Amino acid sequence: MPHQAVVPITAEGLKTACSQCNLQELCLPFGMSDGDIDQLDGLVGGRRKVKRHQHLYRVGDTFEAIFAVRTGSFKTDVLLEDGREQVTGFQMSGEIIGLDGISTDAHTCNAVALEDSDVCIIPFANLETLSREVESLQHQFHKVMSREIVRDHGVMMLLGSMRAEERLAAFLINMSQRFTARGFSAAEFHLRMTREEIGSYLGLKLETVSRAFSRFQENGLIKVQQKHIRIVNIGGLKALLSHLPSV
Amino acid sequence: MPHQAVVPITAEGLKTACSQCNLQELCLPFGMSDGDIDQLDGLVGGRRKVKRHQHLYRVGDTFEAIFAVRTGSFKTDVLLEDGREQVTGFQMSGEIIGLDGISTDAHTCNAVALEDSDVCIIPFANLETLSREVESLQHQFHKVMSREIVRDHGVMMLLGSMRAEERLAAFLINMSQRFTARGFSAAEFHLRMTREEIGSYLGLKLETVSRAFSRFQENGLIKVQQKHIRIVNIGGLKALLSHLPSV
DNA sequence: CAAGCGGGTTGACGTGGATCAAACGCCCCA
DNA sequence: TGGGGCGTTTGATCCACGTCAACCCGCTTG
């Protein structure tokens, strides 16, 4: 296995992993009462650091745990035999990675760190056991999975029915919302992924992504400097999605 | 609510809904032991008939239950404000519909019968309660959700990275496999959806779907007569996917 | 400080699939 | 039995995005 070693953590530290974590509002325990969260001792089996460009898991790895992003960010992708890549998602702090592995006990996509990151390891056996005891955990976990399905439907909509600029506008609005939820600026942020990765996610070539960025800038919607994005006219971006005249 | 009335069923009939059902191998209980399946009394809350072109549920309907297709088939779709439709999936007997509703307690897509159909109603509260008691049910349900996520990733691959003929070949192979699993011919089947619905699912216009069908026929891969499809050269179809020279 | 390189931008051109349009065939129903 | 309409097929044309190519910029490394 090409995996890095699990970061050793004291049993004491992990006992309070969730109850002490400031990502509660974004992560699995979202919506659970403090009392219920206190029951999650032992849910997290460890932590793991993953360096930029390293894999958290690969297609075919046996599935044992899901992961909660603590810091950093990831992409997940699937490959075709001839090498074509499809990025299926980008994950930020508090988000859960690895749900794809449950169905066959083996991972069906790759998860790669976009920057130096670390994750909580949630052994799936722990999660299922605790879920049978803590009703709210069970329900939250089901919501997390369902949310992933709903998100995937949104991506299908995007890939199947939108044109290039609509796709990129949807992407930027989505990123903005997720940064906001994490206490960062809604208008100014740093993308961790390349134009090629954005393109793969959106079903476009990197040149098309680059051109759409430039067009948005010409139209005064955003300011682009490489990976640094400033949204100048969020209404204009949203109007692109609803096919309304831009404000 | 525009829903049809639930078909009244005797309590006795439902007590054995799953243990007596011949769809076990395809449905939620797949992989569970007979003993465990016997514990599923009360899981199914009722049955419902849905006529062709009628909705099983709509975007915004409150979520109370998931559904298992007993007979017939469905499509699920999402709409953009301007009316563009994206079909997110086609469901056949034994498959589960409605998982999208868990995340927000309201459905986020529409489910429409492609032909006269009927479904088992599985109240979600029942499912969560029983899942806490029957470990194998819990695990199977998690697998069903995960399988849906993996399927969605496949659709993203298709929409984001494949060309028209590859998409249609993938679609036909997938249909063939699902008919086979249900004891029907792998080579000859009747599509219940229109060219437009196939196109929406595959991110193509109906004319493009039609032309691709014609091309496949010219090349001796299939025989098409409206909705009736006969696969003549399955290897050739698969070769289209792997970018290999067709056999 | 120069060279090398990965990522990004921009331009010129090509093409796969969309669009527009016409006609066909199956099926329902009077 | 004979319309009428939806779903499908097919042709002609168009255009959004892909492809190919040149160049730029900021970083890293020797």
Chain-chain contact of B142 with A128 (C-beta, under 8 angstroms)? yes
d(Cα B185, Cα B29) in Å, to the nearest integer?
24
Q: What is the mean pLDDT of chain A?
A: 93
The residue of chain A with its CA nearest to that of B197 is: A160
| Structural contact between residues A122 and A9, judged by C-beta atoms closer than 8 angstroms | no
Instruction: Report helix, strand or coil for B122.
Output: strand
Looking at CA atoms only, how far is residue A135 from chain B in angstroms?
Answer: 8
pLDDT tens digits for range B161-206: 999 999 999 999 999 999 999 999 999 999 999 999 999 999 999 9
Average pLDDT of span A177-204: 97
Domain ranges of chain A: 11-151, 162-242
The residue of chain A with its CA nearest to that of B200 is: A160
Q: Which residues in chain B have Cβ-Cβ distances shorter than 8 Å to A156?
A: 78, 86, 88, 152, 155-156, 159
What count of residues does chain B have?
A: 247
Which residue ranges have CB below 7 A from strand C? A 194-196, 206-207, 209-211, 213-214, 224, 226-227; B 163-165, 203-205, 207-208, 226
| Structural contact between residues B173 and B238, judged by C-beta atoms closer than 8 angstroms | yes
| Structural contact between residues A187 and A231, judged by C-beta atoms closer than 8 angstroms | yes
CATH class of segment(s) B162-242:
mainly alpha
d(Cα B61, Cα B72) in Å, to the nearest integer?
22
Q: Is A161 on the interface with B (CB under 8 A)?
A: yes
d(Cα A43, Cα A31) in Å, to the nearest integer?
17
| Structural contact between residues B238 and B169, judged by C-beta atoms closer than 8 angstroms | yes
Longest CA–CA separation in chain B, Å: 58
> Counting one residue from A and one from B, how many pairs have CB atoms under 8 Å apart?
145
- The β-bridge relationship of strands A117-123 and A85-91 is unpaired
d(Cα B241, Cα B246) in Å, to the nearest integer?
10
Res. A247 pLDDT band, cuts 50 70 90: very low
Res. B246 pLDDT band, cuts 50 70 90: very low
Proximity of residue B53 CB to strand D below 7 A: no
DSSP structural state of residue B2? -
Q: What is the pLDDT of residue B6?
A: 59
Residue B245 has pLDDT above 70, yes or no: no
Average pLDDT of span B20-34: 94
Which of A81, A132, A148 faces B132 most closely, judged by CB atoms?
A132
Q: What is the pLDDT of residue B242?
A: 80
pLDDT tens digits for range B102-150: 999 999 999 999 999 999 999 999 999 999 999 999 999 999 999 999 9
pLDDT tens digits for range A132-159: 999 999 999 999 999 999 999 999 999 9
Chain-chain contact of B159 with A159 (C-beta, under 8 angstroms)? yes
d(Cα A75, Cα A69) in Å, to the nearest integer?
11
Q: Which residues in chain A have Cβ-Cβ distances shorter than 8 Å to B133?
A: 132
Give the amino acid at A134. Answer: V
**Least confident segment among A52-61, A205-214, B6-15:** B6-15
* Whether the domain at A11-151 and the domain at A162-242 fall into the same CATH topology: no
Q: What is the pLDDT of residue B116?
A: 94
B79 forms bridges with which residues in the sheet?
B85
| Structural contact between residues A51 and A113, judged by C-beta atoms closer than 8 angstroms | yes
| Structural contact between residues A123 and A45, judged by C-beta atoms closer than 8 angstroms | yes
**What b/e sequence results for B188-205 when a residue is b if at least 16 CB atoms lie within 10 Å of its CB, and e otherwise?**
ebebbbebbbbbbbbbbe
**Strand D positions with any atom < 7 Å from protein CB?**
7-12, 16-21, 26
Proximity of residue B215 CB to strand D below 7 A: no
Q: What is the pLDDT of residue B1?
A: 43
Res. A242 pLDDT band, cuts 50 70 90: confident
Q: What is the pLDDT of residue A223?
A: 96
Distance B210 CA to C25 C1' (A): 15
Both tokens of B87, joined, read: 């079909």
**Torsions phi, psi for A25 (to 5 deg):** -70, -15
Does an H or E element contain B228, and which? strand B228-231
Q: What is the pLDDT of residue B11?
A: 58
DSSP structural state of residue A101? G
**What b/e sequence results for A224-240 when a residue is b if at least 16 CB atoms lie within 10 Å of its CB, and e otherwise?**
eeeeebebebbebbbbb
pLDDT > 90 fraction of chain B, expressed in percent and rounded: 88
CATH fit for domain A11-151, picks 3.40.50.300, 1.20.1250.20, 2.60.120.10, 1.10.510.10: 2.60.120.10
Both tokens of B135, joined, read: 């470990």
Residue B7 has pLDDT above 80, yes or no: no
Q: What is the pLDDT of residue B247?
A: 41
Please determine, looking at this structure, whether the domain spanning B11-157 carries the CATH number 2.60.40.420. no
| Structural contact between residues B122 and B28, judged by C-beta atoms closer than 8 angstroms | yes
Looking at CA atoms only, how far is residue B102 from chain A in angstroms?
Answer: 6
Distance B80 CA to D21 C1' (A): 38
What count of residues does chain A have?
A: 247
Q: What is the pLDDT of residue A79?
A: 95
Q: Which residues in chain B have Cβ-Cβ distances shorter than 8 Å to A101?
A: 146
Looking at CA atoms only, how far is residue B179 from chain A in angstroms?
Answer: 21
Q: What is the mean pLDDT of chain B?
A: 93
Q: Which of residues 9-28 of B touch A (CB under 8 A)?
A: none
Distance A227 CA to C1 C1' (A): 28
Question: For the CA atoms of chain A, what is the radius of gyration?
Answer: 19
Res. B55 pLDDT band, cuts 50 70 90: very high
**Torsions phi, psi for B25 (to 5 deg):** -70, -15
E strands present in chain A: 46-50, 55-57, 65-71, 74-79, 85-91, 96-97, 110-113, 117-123, 188-190, 222-225, 228-231
Res. B16 pLDDT band, cuts 50 70 90: confident
Q: What is the pLDDT of residue A124?
A: 98
Res. B15 pLDDT band, cuts 50 70 90: confident
Which of A104, A143, A159 faces B103 most closely, judged by CB atoms?
A143
Average pLDDT of span A24-46: 94
How far, rounded to the nearest angstrom, does the alpha carbon of residue B232 sit from its chain's CA centroid? Answer: 25
Q: What is the pLDDT of residue A129?
A: 98
Res. A5 pLDDT band, cuts 50 70 90: low
